[in-house]
Amino acid sequence: MDKSESHEKMAAEMKQRLKVDELEENIDELEDVVEDVFPVLIVCVLVCVVLTLVFLLRMYIRYNVECPSNNRMDGKAVLITGGTSGLGKATALELAKRNARVLITGREKSKVEAVARAIRKKTGNQHVNALVLDLANIRSIREFAKDFVKEEKALHVLINNAAYMGPKAATDDGLERGFGVNFLGHFYLTHLLTDKLRKNAPSRIINVVSGSYADGELDLEDLALNKNFNVHKSYARSKLAQVIFNQEYHRRHISGCVWSFGVHPGCVKTELLRSYPGLLGNILRVFARFMFKSPEEGCQTIVYCAVADGLRDFSGKVFSNCKVMKVKDSLVKNRELAKELFKVSAQLCGFEDELAQNAPAHEEKQKDDEEKKKE
């Protein structure tokens, strides 16, 4: 081998060594970069996963169906409790657009009048009126119903919407406020207006309930909820009572062509959470702002049950997203519990004697209906 070939071989070996050394240096530099960037990459991935899950959860919670019925309500009268905000106000607006005579209630005269005035201006429907009603006061309900029956010519749809969710408090009659307002107040109002609804049959009652009814426990011996009170427990119990009442009312009055529907509107951004106490209340209020349905979205099933055709056979059912929702039979279809709830509620409202007089005929009608089904 001559010197030139030897020099070329040595040069090639040197270049190879340099390449290896350079590669090792690049690898070391890359490892350093990865060590510096890896935590940031992990954080970015986690953030993306969380945002994706929040987006999917929001889509699930806000899933909604628009009312498929275009029926108008010319000549129909609708009474809505709790109509100054949230679902009540949105429902009043939608039904006013369909030319219903809309009567909205609230505790503060000035506030309910302002809402009625705004709806009249927005829809051009001049038959939107404000009425004062305090569902936390039995006497107020009785006087309201007396005046309503006397002054109003008709009632075709009663929407029991008003609700309370908050710290433990009492009604004017000394009852636990959640039970008193959400259930008992509406129970008594419905009883007092039933004759009016019968005279305008076919008519409808819509009870705005909640999926939280499934968490409720109905202890008729502890209506003050002295045992382990908490906000959710109180609310769930009142909604369970409403769902039970919805079916019991159907059994008692379907023969008079008064149909009863429950509506679970889903999670809706309303003022219901305004009184929820503590840190959890603050978190729920913030969460509701961007995760829950708007009142306009949430009211669609209420409107559907108020205007749609072909719902007679679904009286007594609970609707969600304009379809019948399955309920927990073990809680809701206990007829003995329903009768006992009806009896205790009548006693609290002061018309148990009237209930006792009507009970035999009602029970006989139930027996006849059951025999016909068997045949």
Q: Which residues are catalytic?
A: 235
Answer positive or negative: Cα dihedral of 74, 320, 196, 121: negative
- Running DSSP on this structure, what letter comes out for residue 314? G
CA distance 245 to 316: 9
Going by the DSSP 8-state scheme, the letter that residue 176 receives in this structure is B
* Cα angle 167, 170, 173; round to 5: 165
> Which single residue is written with the structure tokens 């004697």?
353
* Rounded (10°) angle between helices 3-61 and 278-291: 100
Residue 147 structure tokens:
């005046």
φ, ψ (nearest 5 deg) of residue 31 = -60, -40
CB 45 within 8 A of CB 37: no
Beta bridge partners of 319: 263, 324
Pairing of strands 323-325, 318-320: antiparallel
* Euclidean distance between CA atoms 93 and 118, whole angstroms: 9
Closest by alpha carbon to 143, among 172, 175, 102?
A: 172
CA angle 83, 84, 85 (to 5 degrees): 95
